[in-house]
Structure 1
Amino acid sequence: MVVDKEYCMSSFLLYRRVLDRNKEFKRGCIPNSIPESWNKIGINSSLELEEHLKKSVKEATNDGKAALALSGGIDSAILAKFMPKGSIAYTFRCTAGDMPTTDETERAAAYAKECGLEHRIIEITWDDMKRYAPILMKHKNSPLHSIEVQIYMAGLRAKEDGIERIIYGETADVNYGGLSNILSKDWTVGEFVERYAYLKPWVALKNPKVDFSGILPYIMDNGLVDVPNYLAKFDIIESVNSYVNACQTAKIGFVAPFADTYLNKTLDLDRIRKGENKYMIREIFERLYKDFKVPDKIPMPRATDQWLRNWKGPTREEFIPNCAKNMTGDQKWLLWSLETFLNIMEI
């Protein structure tokens, strides 16, 4: 292992993970990460996918000790249809005082009622983020994605309720064309980095070390980026790793039926660009919820804009002064998370 704090900081800001598994923030501080690949089932149609999801949920719920993380979107709503009646469904709600935040609880409650599930809401505040983030960072040996605290809190709540595992709809978007903005056009490498980098290290760090090797395998002969494969094979690692870390830290089982699959054919970008994103999953939803309209896509709720609206940015010497000015809440979170991690780990 090679100690390279500057590299690790830059990689986290760019990819939300340390890409080079031979690099560490300090001696013995090796970021935890899931394997690069795992066994998956190739899917050719919405009927095949529906059958797999139904089977996966049945296996996870056989002993009556599984709950569902239920959002207002269609991925977890589909899984809700396969849950045994009376199962618990948790929905996250981030709060920030009197400021409005994304609230999926009403629509999730409608799904829960339709499926005969017991709906419970988990409130997340900024105090919760500050309280639990250090615990998760120490387990991960890394800064965090902003969703990890709420997943961890769901795990704690589930254990109190006698639950041993939680089922999530994670990876449906990266596997089946749900990220319509990034799939909306063909991207050159420069355009892709400019658009898709979570936070460009050179705008925040005094000594950035930028590694674009994560993107290089997905550059096609015509110079464009193969975005569908980048999402389904590369970006998925960071996404799933966030859930795994939070669930492991809470000592709760993690089940992600979509993550055990891959699309065994070329993604139809024309359909997505005409407004039919995640078309295969839409087909399942429309079969199962004939009286429901497909809702607009929103990310897992996290009130980073509200929580960090008055945060002035990092003050450690590694960061460019006032670099957080004009950044989004999610970008500020990456800076806050990175600086907090460096402080608590004494790096």
Structure 2
Amino acid sequence: MRGCDAYTFRFLGGEYGREELERAEYYAGYYGLELHYVDITWDTVERGLDICMRAKCAPVHSIEPQIYQAAMQAKADGIGIMLVGESSDLVFGGMDRLLSRDWDFDGFMKRYIFTDPEKVLVDPVPVRDVFERYRRDGDGIDFLSFMDDIFSVESSGSYMNAFACAGMDYYDPYARLKMSVPLDLYRVRHGEPKYLIRELMKKKYPEIPVPEKVPMPRPVDSYFAGWKGPVRPEFRDDIDIQAFSGNQKWQLYCLERFLDINEGKTV
């Protein structure tokens, strides 16, 4: 792998997610990789957002425009295929927040939906039926099967669409792996997400501290610090936008922009 090209996101001139950036620089030096920075700004996010939503015909996750930007940069550099590790979280227990407890039905649905449609939309459409298929024992839910069936498609779809929009091939080696035994949820819930990967890294590279698992960075709080909220008639007019997190604001902004695109209101 020495001499291969590696790409890492750099946000807000390197001021956001600095620890992740330093880790990428360390690994690039350790493995002898040629490190390239993918500078992400709100302008690049907006350009990629419209392209990705037009292709998907739906709003997209906040990681998708920046994946598209990285793929476009690599393509311009002459790269033919990129390797990603997206499926590692799903296969090896990296989604520690979703795996944090044995959810009841309503609790998991609320956590997964993230933003309650009834609090932001004038005429919300229920999506409960998607979850009902996984209801177990009255108020329980088979959240592991839900993640395998629903979350995996949603997560991988962000990469598939972004790379397809860029016209770049990619390969996720983790997508071909499966644990031979069920996840040890006790370990995941007690500070050891992706414990198998962590153990393998300790054995292979004992001199390198094993990093803590963190989500892909995206500075949504900074992006929407001054945003006043959606104004289209589909949204309620009593939304207290300051009560929403950056990730929730992304969902609202993304939906509003998608509706504008659908009506030809964006170029």
TM-score normalised by length of structure 2: 0.92
Asked whether the 8 Å contact 1:183–1:273 carries over to 2, the reply is yes
Asked whether the 8 Å contact 1:312–1:322 carries over to 2, the reply is no
Q: Is residue 331 from structure 1 mapped to residue 248 from structure 2 by the alignment? A: yes
Question: May I ask how many residue pairs the two structures share in their alignment?
Answer: 262
Distance 2:21 2:187 in 1: 30
Match of 2:157 in 1: 241
Q: Compute the displacement of 1:157 (Å).
A: 0.8
Match of 2:9 in 1: 92
Q: Is residue 226 from structure 1 mapped to residue 142 from structure 2 by the alignment? A: yes
Distance 1:85 1:164 in 2: 17
Match of 1:180 in 2: 96
Please list the CA deviations of residues 44-96 of structure 1 after superposition, one character each: whole Å capped at 9, or x if unmatched.
Answer: xxxxxxxxxxxxxxxxxxxxxxxxxxxxxxxxxxxxxxxx210000001221x
Counterpart of 1:196 (choices 98, 103, 112) is 112
Quickly say closer, same or farther: Cα 1:212–1:175, change in 2 above 3 A. Answer: farther
Structure 1 residue matching 2:230: 3-state secondary structure: coil
Distance 2:125 2:118 in 1: 8
Distance 1:176 1:221 in 2: 26
Distance 1:101 1:235 in 2: 27
Distance 1:288 1:109 in 2: 19
Q: Is residue 268 from structure 1 mapped to residue 196 from structure 2 by the alignment? A: no
Match of 2:128 in 1: 212
Q: Compute the displacement of 1:333 (Å).
A: 0.7
Q: Is residue 320 from structure 1 mapped to residue 236 from structure 2 by the alignment? A: yes
Q: Is residue 101 from structure 1 mapped to residue 16 from structure 2 by the alignment? A: yes
Greater share of residues in helix: 2
Cα RMSD, aligned residues only: 1.8
Paired letter, 2:17: T
Distance 2:242 2:255 in 1: 16
Distance 2:187 2:235 in 1: 43
Q: Compute the displacement of 1:262 (Å).
A: 2.9
Asked whether the 8 Å contact 1:94–1:302 carries over to 2, the reply is yes
Paired letter, 2:182: T
Q: Compute the displacement of 1:222 (Å).
A: 6.1
Distance 2:238 2:33 in 1: 48
The equivalences for 1:248-263 within 5 A come to: 248-263=164-179
Structure 1 residue matching 2:103: 3-state secondary structure: coil
Structure 2 alignment gaps of length 5 or more = none
Distance 1:333 1:182 in 2: 20
Asked whether the 8 Å contact 2:48–2:66 carries over to 1, the reply is no
Distance 2:95 2:125 in 1: 28
Q: Compute the displacement of 1:132 (Å).
A: 2.2
Q: Compute the displacement of 1:311 (Å).
A: 0.5
Match of 1:48 in 2: none
Structure 2 residue matching 1:122: 3-state secondary structure: strand
Structure 1 residue matching 2:133: 3-state secondary structure: helix
Asked whether the 8 Å contact 2:193–2:213 carries over to 1, the reply is no
Distance 2:205 2:138 in 1: 42
Distance 1:270 1:171 in 2: 21
Q: Compute the displacement of 1:214 (Å).
A: 2.6
TM-score normalised by length of structure 1: 0.72
Asked whether the 8 Å contact 2:100–2:188 carries over to 1, the reply is yes
Asked whether the 8 Å contact 1:282–1:294 carries over to 2, the reply is yes
The equivalences for 1:275-286 within 5 A come to: 275-286=191-202
Please list the CA deviations of residues 222-252 of structure 1 after superposition, one character each: whole Å capped at 9, or x if unmatched.
Answer: 6322223322332011111011111000000
Q: Compute the displacement of 1:322 (Å).
A: 4.4
Please list the CA deviations of residues 278-336 of structure 1 after superposition, one character each: whole Å capped at 9, or x if unmatched.
Answer: 11111222122211222222111101011101101110000012423311111111111
Asked whether the 8 Å contact 1:93–1:301 carries over to 2, the reply is no
The equivalences for 1:38-77 within 5 A come to: none
Q: Compute the displacement of 1:185 (Å).
A: 1.5
Q: Compute the displacement of 1:178 (Å).
A: 1.0
Distance 1:261 1:148 in 2: 23
Structure 1 alignment gaps of length 5 or more = 1-83
Q: Compute the displacement of 1:199 (Å).
A: 1.6
Distance 2:130 2:195 in 1: 27
Counterpart of 1:126 (choices 42, 47, 52) is 42
Match of 1:65 in 2: none
